């Protein structure tokens, strides 16, 4: 990939790369003091170049440049101590998706038709203003800070893997969330990542955090492990818009873990994070334990965190999200591979559409 400047809103649109994703997370509250959190991510991939075998099993090899979409989302209700996950193995996009002057994606999960849910949406209504809709959230987000350009220019290299990467770290959020059959008004603060690359990440391991401190400082930090060595990337934007970037960090696991009954993977739920050049030390703790997401043969952990620590001699606190990928699994996906999966997907889609109509 050739490095170039990020240009918005044009670069919010899709690119002709192996993999690309539009990722949102946030923390919300209603007027009664109940708290919620969410993650919503839409992926777009060239199925002939990405290393996700079952996509090729479903569609065949076809022509290079044939893109497919899939989406993952989580809604966390802390009063219930429960999360709701939606893992769309295939997302069907509307004809006008990725075709409007500003970013627009309208998509459905065939399986959700049986539940009477039709439309997911990520739409940039004006530059820096987004509408996000899933089965559990319906939100408007407005960016209040300049974009955070990871690596300083919006182009990063970790373990030889290059990608474009920028974030909108301070999105003022209003809207509603679904609790049972009722939609509850909420307000809060959200985060957006947009990343695209001509590489596959399916066999690597990473520990990633988005952190929003109460003092107005926002932090993206990641430990990336390709099995041979680790790279670190830290990008910070403070309340005044200053954006230092570092490549040194310390990530230490705590004692609290979650072991999946399905995959037998064990995920650390507590981390100590140190950024020596920024004189920052943080403790990050998961708010709910079972954040495991299972996407084909890939398993990872995704969920909200609470953060406490210090910058220099000043105490800080905040919230964020954590993603843990590449943890060993005993989950056997072979039963859902090849022709059997191909047949299942086609039969399932047909059955669900007939049920709905």
Q: What are phi and psi of 59, to 5 degrees?
A: -100, -15
Give the separation between CA 318 and CA 311, rounded to whole angstroms: 13
Architecture of the domain defined by 13-356: Beta Barrel (2.40)
Q: How far is Cα 18 from Cα 197, in angstroms, rounded to an integer?
A: 6
Helix/strand/coil for 8: coil
By mean pLDDT, which of 47-51, 134-138, 157-161, 281-285 is the weakest? 47-51
Minimal CA–CA distance to 352: which of 83, 53, 89? 89
DSSP 3-state helix, strand, coil percentages of the chain (rounded to 5)? 10, 55, 35
Q: What is the pLDDT of residues 30-51, one digit of tens each?
A: 999 999 999 999 999 987 776 6
For the chain, what is the mean pLDDT? 89
Q: Percentage of the chain with pLDDT > 70?
A: 87
Say what the pLDDT of residue 338 is: 43
- Give the burial class of 5: count Cβ atoms within 10 A of its Cβ; 0-12 exposed, 13-18 middle, 19 or more buried: exposed
Cα(40)–Cα(73) distance, integer angstroms? 4
pTM equals 0.90
Sign of the Cα torsion 236, 132, 177, 74 reads negative
The H or E element that residue 356 is part of is helix 338-356
User: Do the Cβ atoms of 32 and 217 come closer than 8 Å?
Assistant: no
Pick the closest to residue 211 from 22, 15, 27 (CA basis).
27
Range 258-285 average pLDDT: 97
Please identify which residue in the block is written with the tokens 């994070």. 273
Look at residue 28 and tell me whether its pLDDT is greater than 70: yes
Residue 346: C-alpha distances to residues 90, 231, 333, 335, 349 (Å): 11, 41, 18, 16, 5
pLDDT at residue 54 is higher than 90: no
Backbone φ, ψ for residue 203 (5° rounding)? -105, 5
What pLDDT does 357 receive? 37
Which 8-state DSSP code applies to residue 115?
A: G
d(CA 206, CA 224): 5
Cα distance between residue 339 and residue 111, in whole Å: 19
What tokens appear for 39 in the block?
């993650």
**What pLDDT digit, counting tens, does each position of 150-165 carry?**
999 999 999 999 999 9
pLDDT at 73 over 90: yes
Query: Quick one: tokens of 5?
Result: 């400047």
Looking at residues 261-278, what average pLDDT do you find? Answer: 96
Residue 264 φ/ψ region, left for φ over 0, alpha for ψ in the -120 to 50 degree band, beta for the rest: left
For residue 53, the model assigns a pLDDT of 54
60 has pLDDT over 60: no
Q: Is the pLDDT of residue 339 over 50?
A: no
Over range 113-117, report the average pLDDT. Answer: 70
| Model pLDDT for residues 297-336, shown as the tens digit of each residue | 789 999 999 999 999 999 999 999 999 999 998 876 555 4
Structure tokens at 102: 């500003």
Grade residue 7 by pLDDT with cuts at 50, 70 and 90: very high
Q: Where along the chain do its domains lie?
A: 13-356
Question: Which of the 8 DSSP states describes residue 135?
Answer: S
């Amino acid at each position: 990939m050739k490095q170039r400047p990020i240009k918005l809103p044009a670069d919010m649109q899709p690119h002709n790369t192996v993999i690309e994703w539009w990722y949102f997370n946030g923390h919300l509250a209603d007027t009664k003091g109940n708290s919620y959190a969410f993650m919503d991510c839409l992926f777009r991939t060239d199925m002939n170049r990405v290393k996700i075998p079952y996509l090729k099993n479903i569609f065949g090899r076809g022509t290079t440049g044939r893109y497919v979409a899939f989406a993952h989302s989580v809604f966390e209700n802390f009063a219930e101590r429960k999360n709701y996950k939606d893992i769309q193995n295939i997302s069907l996009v509307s004809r006008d998706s990725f075709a409007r002057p500003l970013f627009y994606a309208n998509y459905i999960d065939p399986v959700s038709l049986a539940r009477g849910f039709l439309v997911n949406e990520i739409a940039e209504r004006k530059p820096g203003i987004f509408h996000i809709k899933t089965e559990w959230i319906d939100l408007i987000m407005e960016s209040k800070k300049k974009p955070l350009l990871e690596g300083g220019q919006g182009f990063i290299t970790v373990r030889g893997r290059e990608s474009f990467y920028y974030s909108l770290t301070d999105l003022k959020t209003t809207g509603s969330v679904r609790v049972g059959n009722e939609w509850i008004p909420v307000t809060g603060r959200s985060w957006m990542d947009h990343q695209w690359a001509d590489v596959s990440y399916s066999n690597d391991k990473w520990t990633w955090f988005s952190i929003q401190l109460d003092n107005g400082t926002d932090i993206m930090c990641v430990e990336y492990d390709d099995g041979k060595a680790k790279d670190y990337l830290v990008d910070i934007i403070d309340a005044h818009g200053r954006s230092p970037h570092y490549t040194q960090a310390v990530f230490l696991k705590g004692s609290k873990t979650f072991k999946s009954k399905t995959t037998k993977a064990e995920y650390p739920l507590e981390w100590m994070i140190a950024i020596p050049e920024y004189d920052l030390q943080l403790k990050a703790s998961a708010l709910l334990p079972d954040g495991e997401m299972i996407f084909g043969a890939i398993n990872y952990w995704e969920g909200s965190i609470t953060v406490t620590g210090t910058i220099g001699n000043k105490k800080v606190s905040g919230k964020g999200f954590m993603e843990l990928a590449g943890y060993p699994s005993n989950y056997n996906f072979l039963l859902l591979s090849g022709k059997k999966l191909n047949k299942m997907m086609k039969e399932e889609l047909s059955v669900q559409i007939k049920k709905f109509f």
